[in-house]
Homo-oligomer: A and B are copies of this chain.
Amino acid sequence: MSRLVIAGEVLESRLFLGTGGLPRPDLVRPVLEAARPALVTVSMRRASGSAPAGLLGILRDIGARVLPNTAGCLSAGEALHTARLAREALGTSWVKLEVVRDERTLLPDAVELLDAAATLVTEGFTVLPYAPADPVLACRLVDVGCAAVMPLGSPIGSGLGVLDPHAIEAVVAAVDVPVVLDAGIGTASDAALAMELGCAAVLAASAVTRAEDPVGMARALRLAVEAGWIARRSGRIPRRAEARSASPLTGRVS
């Protein structure tokens, strides 16, 4: 596959992964080896004093970048603080920016998001905002300097896939930065569909970590993302209401 470039950086995969929710820590490495993600999301949480778990070491081993998120932030201010802590902790200026209205729906708050994105860009961050599937808001996020846009396919962790393919296509058409499908992926066909709609990458977390076999699902999503990406570039046949034979119509035995 041709490679994905965000903010001038070449990424070696079009699958991004969150590992939160895995039932056992020893699954982290095989899941990452099966998924081979370009970016792996992490959250910033109060430390119990000990060193962070081996996640960062595994990322180094497999050559994946860390992408801190601001999950759980309910205001621009909280998100700014979390992003700055993440930059200091991880030495990366990339951030998956999340600002949600409430902890039940986990839906992005367009106003706080735009506010926080604008500030973080001026502070030198590379901002990838988790956003509504709203083409106009996507434009505004790009206007303030976001490096990508990450519309949700459906609510976080819902596994409902891409509820409004038309909206995702509209976001892709509206902006000239990579569009990453974030939230809602449930299984392989969802990921393939997202890529076919024009997304440049897909982020999955619960779909993998809460599957019965996380390693298997990691591998399935990797293949599906590649399949969808190639399919998009291969020019699919148009949908038609009428049938059309692939077998020759002439020369039939009568």
Contact = CB atoms under 8 A, between A and B. Distances in A.
Interface of A: 18, 20-21, 41, 43-46, 69, 71-73, 78, 81-82, 85, 100-101, 103-111, 114, 132, 134-137, 139-140, 154-160, 163-164, 166-167, 170, 174, 186-193, 196, 205-207, 209-214, 216-217, 219-224, 226-228, 230-231, 233-254
A233 B216 CA distance: 8
A107 B81 contact: no
B137 A248 contact: no
A158 B223 contact: no
Contacts of A71: 245, 247
Given A110-B137, A160-B166, A230-B219, A212 B186 contact: no
In the complex this chain forms, how many copies of it are found?
A: 4
13 contacts: A43-B247, A43-B248, A78-B254, A81-B253, A105-B136, A110-B136, A111-B114, A157-B245, A158-B240, A159-B236, A160-B166, A216-B230, A224-B227
A135 B107 contact: yes
A189 B189 contact: yes
A174 to B, nearest CB: 8
B192 A196 contact: no
Residue in A140, A193, A233, A236 whose Cβ sees the most chain B Cβ within 10 Å: A236
Contacts of A243: 104-107, 155-158
A240 B164 contact: no
Contact of A237 (B105, B210, B245): B210
Given A136-B108, A236-B207, A45 B251 contact: yes
A60 to B, nearest CB: 21
Contact of A240 (B69, B157, B189): B157
